[in-house]
Amino acid sequence: MALFLDVDGTLIDFAASPEAAFAPAELPAILQSASRRLNGALALVSGRSIAELDRLMAPLQLPSSGLHGAELRLTPAGPATTPAKLPVELVEALRGQLASYDGAKLEDKGASIAIHYRAAPHLAAELHALLLRYIGRMEAPPLELMVGELVYELKPPGFDKGTAISAFMQCAPFSGRKPVFIADHPIDQAGFATATSLGGYGLSVGRLLPGAACWFSDTEAVRAWLKDLA
């Protein structure tokens, strides 16, 4: 198989903020061993940037896709494709609108904008409405709203975790294998659909999600499975 792994909520537990999350000490070694077992056909497919994935898994570097498919690094040491950044004035305008929402935090990812509200989950409906209005008033660039785990994300259309998996599956060592995608949230259904369409399947974490064949109970169960695989 070719193995594609989401990170937050799949390999590592969620934290109060993205920068507070950490990888268990043994995880990089487990991933490295599992990658060797698969002859290199293991990649991280995450909403985080590739730079953040490298930081979390240091010193390990893997084939990776970041920012929900916007960034792509097909080999561990290869170059990463980097999308155009969203206009600074667009980001700052939204930051100003969020200033009155205590507990909401804007993360500028360059090619996308994440609005975290883990510290204030009661703001979910208000923030959702605000972002829909924000998108509706924009003329350019076009953006779509993704709903994650206590986070909303605004990103340009045209790429997702499914397009990232498709790109990996067209090159060695992934091509010719059965893609297996493990992720934890409905936002990842494009990845499940692509893996299934290419003859593989999706596995979800925490609960059985639409498009997944079966599920792991939690991140610890995923890490234990990877350790057995390795």
pLDDT of residue 135: 87
CATH 3.40.50.1000 occupies which residues in the chain?
2-81+160-229
CATH among 3.30.70.1020, 3.40.830.10, 2.40.50.140, 3.40.50.150 for 88-155: 3.30.70.1020
Residues 6+ apart with CB under 8 A from 119: 16, 103, 105
pLDDT of residue 16: 78
pLDDT of residue 137: 81
The distance between the two most distant Cα atoms of the chain, rounded to a whole number of Å, is 51
Ranges of the chain whose pLDDT falls below 70: none
User: pLDDT of 69-107, one tens digit each?
Assistant: 999 999 998 999 888 888 898 899 999 999 999 999 999
pLDDT of residue 113: 92
Is 160 marked active-site?
Answer: no
CATH 3.30.70.1020 occupies which residues in the chain?
88-155
pLDDT of residue 138: 76
Architecture of the domain delimited by 2-81+160-229? 3-Layer(aba) Sandwich (3.40)
pLDDT of residue 43: 98
Query: By C-alpha distance, which of 171, 9, 144 is closest to 70?
Result: 144
Distances (CA, A) of 49 to 95, 127, 227, 229: 20, 23, 25, 26
pLDDT of residue 17: 80
Q: Which of 6, 8, 184, 188 is catalytic?
A: 6
pLDDT of residue 221: 98
